[in-house]
Structure 1
Amino acid sequence: MGGSPTALNYLNGEWIGSGPTAESVNPADGSVLGRYVPGSKALADQAAAIARETFERTAWAASPRLRAAVLYELADRLEAAKEELADLIVAENGKLRREALGEMMGSISETRYYAGLARTVLGRTLETAPGNFSMMNREPAGVAAIIVPWNAPVTLLIRSLGPALAAGCTVVIKPAPQTPLIHHRVMQCLHACPSLPKGVVNSVNENGIEVGAALVASDDIDVISFTGSSRTGKRIMAGAAPNLKRLSLELGGKAPAVVFDDADLDQACRELTNGALMMAGQICIAAARFLVQKSIEKEFTDRIRAAFSAVRVGPGRDPESGMGSLIDHDNRTRICRLIEQAGDEGELVLKGGVPDGPLSRGAFVTPSLFRIDDLHSELVQEELFGPIVSIETFEDELEAVTKANATKYGLAASVFSLDINRVMRVSRAIRAGTVWLNCHSRLFAEGETGGYRHSGLGRLHGVEGLNDFLETKHVYLEAGAV
């Protein structure tokens, strides 16, 4: 983008940039990267009205080939800008560059995947009696509001935007205030798509909670697709109740990793170090609880402590860094408080904290491990969203499953054992939307993800990712009556 960019709002194919601005800050060093123009309730209402008018008055909803063309064009433009966007993700989000580039490659793949699906949204037909036909048509649900978090601002936008556009919805996006420059650059890629009609995609920057609240309350919005905390998801659900919006909610997680005594510990520690510390633990599928069979607790603990200790914390642009920064200083302070709480309630196996030297100016914190026996502790029950992980033990398979299911969350889990029958039994018993076997954190466009219980509603990725943006209409014909 060059210079000191300003992220604008985007309505009806035009950039809206008047009014006061706010700063976007690099969490690794506190430098100002650029500015953004916050939106407002009035702007959100205007964007929703534009999306409604576009949906009802244009051919977009009935044009699958056009929708596929737009998504292919977007994928091409994201690919052309992937290095620039990866650098911007590192600067504005704080993650490692390899993580940022992986985010871009996943986003490009997802965009192309839904471009292909756009032309194959299929219904079904049946003859219930001679000459009586029921046609089950799949139609776009209407106007979708996409509320995007800061931790993976491109991937978590595309995994909702892709199926929404493929289904034929029009869209209003609310990006995270922590990553407005990244979002603005993605919107520039969209704006450059020659086949995209005006008004199909609109975007309004947040201003506190004003914009999000306006979209949740708007009568022009039919679907809310939100990724974020369970607490905020419940507020959205309550706000959407008066006009019965459809909800797609991917919420918090507290992923257990169950390690049995016959596991390959080299593989388990390698997978769980990455699974717990990728994006500095600021991801809802992060391995957050290590449930270890008692007979191997000491060996596992020694190995995982060594692995965590070897992770070099540093700026995302440094290829030697093994973990980047948190998103801001407030979250650094929050994680440091949790480390002290873990020492009070359990045993600190590895005490992390703010590193010395130049890194202390950024939002960096080193990884922590703690051993705890109290299943009711909030350290076990609540999502901590950072590089701090509990070690808990179990005696047998039944206790492992009981403990894995002991929180209110059910987004993801992993199981480590060389016994194929055991991992299949345990994966079936764990109540989570995704269970990885002998690995952790594998996501791709073709495979659905989503949560049980307090981890959300609906599914993202895969063919089922279209479902939250589609309605089924039953059209009935008695052929003899025509």
Structure 2
Amino acid sequence: MSVHRDLLIGGRDVPAASERTTEDFDPYTGEVFATVAAAGAADAERAVGAADAAFAGWSATGPAARRRVFRRAADLLEARTDEAVALMAREVGATGPWARFNVGLAADFLRETAAAMSRPRGEVLATNEEGALSLALREPLGVVAAFAPWNAPLILGTRAVAAALGAGNTVVLKASEQAPVCGGLFVAGVLREAGLPDGVLNVLTNDPADAAGVAEALIADERVRAVNFTGSTDVGRIVGAHAARHLKPALLELGGKNAIVVLDDADVDHAVHAAAFGAFHNSGQICMSGDRILVHASLAAEFTEKLAAKAASLPAGDPREPATVIGPLISQTAARRVAGLVADAVERGAAVLAGGGEPAGAVYPATVLAGVPRDAALHREEAFGPVVSLAEFADDDEAVALAGDTDRGLTCGILTENGTHGLRVARRVRTGIVHVGDQSVADEPMAPFGGVGASGFGRFGGRWGLEAFSNTRWVTLATRQPHYPF
């Protein structure tokens, strides 16, 4: 039985101005999971108005009061873990371990934001004016337009709003069309229950056909002061262009074409387990997933054989089954896209070592390829599915060159049993994040998170997140009457 949810505007659940709705599907069964209000430009205007009206009160609220809301929200979120797990299974096809990780990290984001609220918010500056005091103060921007993706709905739905709210801004969140409930309305519901005042966080849900119009209306509204977008590089370019047109700062966390590098001093068995996790966790639908595994030639034969066997053994299917590792992709369309990338690579000369073939509905098996040529689409594009390609390298120089052969430098994993060797390689890899002795997927709320190049710009996490959604203002105080020349 499906549920229905309205928009959240000004603390009230309201239908779209047009009274239209849209359907939200269970990716595994293909059944309608929920219907949600289909917002349009008029609803975006209403939501921004509510956020703008709430800004003065929220920005003047002291850090202790804001901190209490965030800490209570973290506790409430963890108390609703079972509900969240069931919700994520139905709305985005999440397996239990992935859903529980979403709950834990989202709660940690809330707690880390709470901790950062009372950190120094400015500094005293040197000045040439005798007797004067010169200050640099960090102040909230105003209304922030936030865009959350579907692939880690609780983590990224929370991250889309937490730092902006923690810095004293108000937010209009446009939830993903494929995770409007768990990635938007559920997160907002937890914060509302925790005591977040009406209008401070507003949530828009929309039909996919209206996504561009709603986004453009939000960004163009003169009351919106900043944009926060997490999603694909292609859409991020469009959002960034709109923000630039209206001279608004934008934090863009986009895609990654990430490499996991297995150095010649790696433990092969550990490297196989680590690489399989980095490539296939959440069916490869993570911006940090390892699309490419680069293996030193001396280990390549053993590593390849063991990784292919491990991939072939991973159970795929119903995300509600505890044994399932490879759940469905977000839709049958997404599964067919991944199958098309694999077919194109094979047609151009790649070899399938495990998996491949056609999807079963939205489920695609863990797939390992070797010899993917440069002219294959998979060489350039994110797989965003349970597909990984293998390549050999002869030395560190070649490993660095292969790892850097992308414009989407988000993260990199370097598997080695020699930390100093791994660090030497890590310092040469051009990514926003690198993990020595580990694979490519990791996230902590206190660490700066973001990529380089077409992987976006700006940083989430800890004080970096609060700084991203605040403005530096110069204030001086003359302690005696200044002298003027005329």
Q: Fold conserved (TM > 0.5)?
A: yes
Q: Give the alignment of 1:119-130 within 5 angstroms.
A: 119-129=118-128, 130=130
1:354 Cα offset (Å) = 4.1
1:122 Cα offset (Å) = 2.1
The amino acid of 1:81's aligned partner reads R
1:23 Cα offset (Å) = 1.8
Q: Give the alignment of 1:54-133 within 5 angstroms.
A: 54-55=54-55, 57-129=56-128, 130-133=130-133
Aligned-residue sequence identity (percent) comes to 33
**Number of the residue aligned with 2:28:** 28
1:427 and 2:431 correspond = no
1:52 and 2:48 correspond = no
Residues 151 and 283, structure 1, Cα contact 8 Å, conserved in 2: yes
Residues 36 and 206, structure 2, Cα contact 8 Å, conserved in 1: no
Secondary structure of the residue aligned to 1:480 is coil
Residues 345 and 376, structure 2, Cα contact 8 Å, conserved in 1: no
- Superposed CA deviations along residues 381-411 of structure 1, whole A, max 9, x for unmatched, are 2212111111112111111101111111110
The amino acid of 1:26's aligned partner reads D
Unaligned 5+ segments in structure 1 are none
**Number of the residue aligned with 1:342:** 345
**Number of the residue aligned with 1:417:** 416
**Number of the residue aligned with 2:185:** 184
Bigger shift: 375-384 or 89-98?
A: 375-384
Bigger shift: 98-107 or 128-137?
A: 128-137
1:145 Cα offset (Å) = 1.0
Q: Distance between the aligned counterparts of 2:64 and 2:372, measured in 1?
A: 56
The amino acid of 2:137's aligned partner reads N
Secondary structure of the residue aligned to 1:239 is helix
Q: Distance between the aligned counterparts of 2:38 and 2:74, measured in 1?
A: 27
Q: Distance between the aligned counterparts of 1:480 and 1:347, measured in 2?
A: 78
Change (3 A) 1:373 1:320: closer
Q: Distance between the aligned counterparts of 2:60 and 2:221, measured in 1?
A: 20
- Superposed CA deviations along residues 166-210 of structure 1, whole A, max 9, x for unmatched, are 10000000001111222322222222233x222111111123322
1:329 and 2:332 correspond = yes
Residues 44 and 218, structure 2, Cα contact 8 Å, conserved in 1: yes
**Number of the residue aligned with 1:142:** 142
Residues 146 and 157, structure 1, Cα contact 8 Å, conserved in 2: no
The amino acid of 1:285's aligned partner reads M
Paired positions, count: 473
Q: Distance between the aligned counterparts of 2:29 and 2:98, measured in 1?
A: 19
Q: Give the alignment of 1:232-251 within 5 angstroms.
A: 232-251=235-254
Q: Distance between the aligned counterparts of 2:470 and 2:457, measured in 1?
A: 15
**Number of the residue aligned with 1:468:** 468
Secondary structure of the residue aligned to 1:58 is helix
1:65 Cα offset (Å) = 2.2
Unaligned 5+ segments in structure 2 are none
Change (3 A) 1:123 1:376: farther
1:93 Cα offset (Å) = 0.6
1:393 and 2:397 correspond = no
**Number of the residue aligned with 1:230:** 233
The amino acid of 1:290's aligned partner reads I
Q: Distance between the aligned counterparts of 2:332 and 2:85, measured in 1?
A: 22
1:154 Cα offset (Å) = 1.1
1:16 and 2:17 correspond = no
**Number of the residue aligned with 2:164:** 164
Residues 95 and 280, structure 1, Cα contact 8 Å, conserved in 2: no
Secondary structure of the residue aligned to 1:76 is helix
The amino acid of 2:190's aligned partner reads C
1:297 and 2:300 correspond = yes
Residues 148 and 160, structure 2, Cα contact 8 Å, conserved in 1: no
Secondary structure of the residue aligned to 1:144 is strand
**Number of the residue aligned with 1:438:** 437
Residues 408 and 455, structure 2, Cα contact 8 Å, conserved in 1: yes
Residues 6 and 181, structure 1, Cα contact 8 Å, conserved in 2: no
1:211 Cα offset (Å) = 1.5
TM-score, length-normalised on structure 2? 0.94
Q: Distance between the aligned counterparts of 1:181 and 1:59, measured in 2?
A: 25
1:380 and 2:348 correspond = no
- Superposed CA deviations along residues 281-307 of structure 1, whole A, max 9, x for unmatched, are 111100110111122211111011011
1:376 Cα offset (Å) = 5.2
The amino acid of 1:434's aligned partner reads I
1:58 Cα offset (Å) = 2.4
**Number of the residue aligned with 2:356:** 352
Q: Which residue of 257, 262, 266 corresponds with 2:260?
A: 257
1:373 Cα offset (Å) = 5.6
Q: Distance between the aligned counterparts of 1:407 and 1:192, measured in 2?
A: 44
1:61 Cα offset (Å) = 4.1
- Superposed CA deviations along residues 439-482 of structure 1, whole A, max 9, x for unmatched, are 12221111121010000010112221112101111112232227
The amino acid of 2:222's aligned partner reads D
**Number of the residue aligned with 2:404:** 405
The alignment's C-alpha RMSD in Å is: 1.6
The amino acid of 2:341's aligned partner reads L
TM-score, length-normalised on structure 1? 0.95
Q: Give the alignment of 1:273-312 within 5 angstroms.
A: 273-312=276-315
Secondary structure of the residue aligned to 1:434 is coil
Secondary structure of the residue aligned to 1:314 is coil
Residues 115 and 162, structure 1, Cα contact 8 Å, conserved in 2: no
